[in-house]
Amino acid sequence: MMEKVPSLGLGTAALALTDLSEAERTLSLALDSGIKYFDTAALYGGGQAEIRLGKVLKSQAARDVFVSTKVGRYRELGVAAPGPNDTPDVWDFSEATTRASIRRSQDRLGRDYLDCVFLHDIEMAPEAALAEALPVLKDLQAKGEIGLIGAGCNTNAGLIAAIYRGAADVVLVAGRWTLLDRSAARNLLPLCARKRTAVVAGGVLNSGLLAKRPVEGASFDYRPATVVERDAATRIHDLAQASGIQLINAALSFPTRHSAVDTLLLGVSTACQLEQSLSALKTNIPQEFWENVAPLGLLA
């Protein structure tokens, strides 16, 4: 049983619906590579990510790992993220649904104790999340069924609200503390430092916009990137190239440079991508690059 989030983790969203053998190979490689933290959610593949992760952890008798999951946002088992004409996800932070979700997650993961539970994307229903679901998590924490409690959001405002209401052990900031989007530095990261709230940085490639030189049609925040966003990412890419650095290497190395950030959460869909990410983290990024890239990005 770990009391803090390990410094490097693997997210399972992209592994929920990919080829099963590839997903299992990727999770096994993560374990073999020394990764001790896995983040999942009832949302991902409608729970399929939890099932796949639980199967691999059981098959490798991997109990010495830290697992976080999430409550509040759901879709049907085996269903991908909805498109414009599909049935939308369901947000339900009621007490009954939250307790049932925890039980399902425990069953899927094969773990009676959940190291961390996040309130998932509370921006859609903040009052329900904090007034109904959070007390359930506090109760289960007091009973020793779950460890850390926090929120995982794509907005700084959602995370700040969660911290002030007591979901303050740890936050998962998705996409708001990256080489391109540094908006978490305004208020969120200083607040976390003051409250001693642990920070997990996820979505650090901004939906792939920081994976390579942006092209028209590239994504940002799970939607097509605007011209402004593409141009900002392109300037960072060109600086990296001129510095002899691959953009993705710099993007993966950036988040944990901030003293308030405890954990980098990788997101991959194949074992090959995981190998590349782990290799990228070993790259030495010159201090001169960090100084030159500081004024670039969406906050410049």
Residue 286 tokens, joined = 């010159």
Comparing CA positions, the residue from 113, 107, 244, 239 lying closest to residue 180 is 239
Of 44, 74, 164, 222, the active-site residue reads 44
Assess whether 37 carries a catalytic annotation: no
**What is the full DSSP assignment across 184-244?**
GGTTHHHHHHHHT-EEEEE-TTTTTTTTSS--TT-EETTEEPPHHHHHHHHHHHHHHHHTT
Residue 61 tokens, joined = 């008798």
Question: Any idea which residue has 């993961």 for tokens?
Answer: 109
Catalytic residues: 44
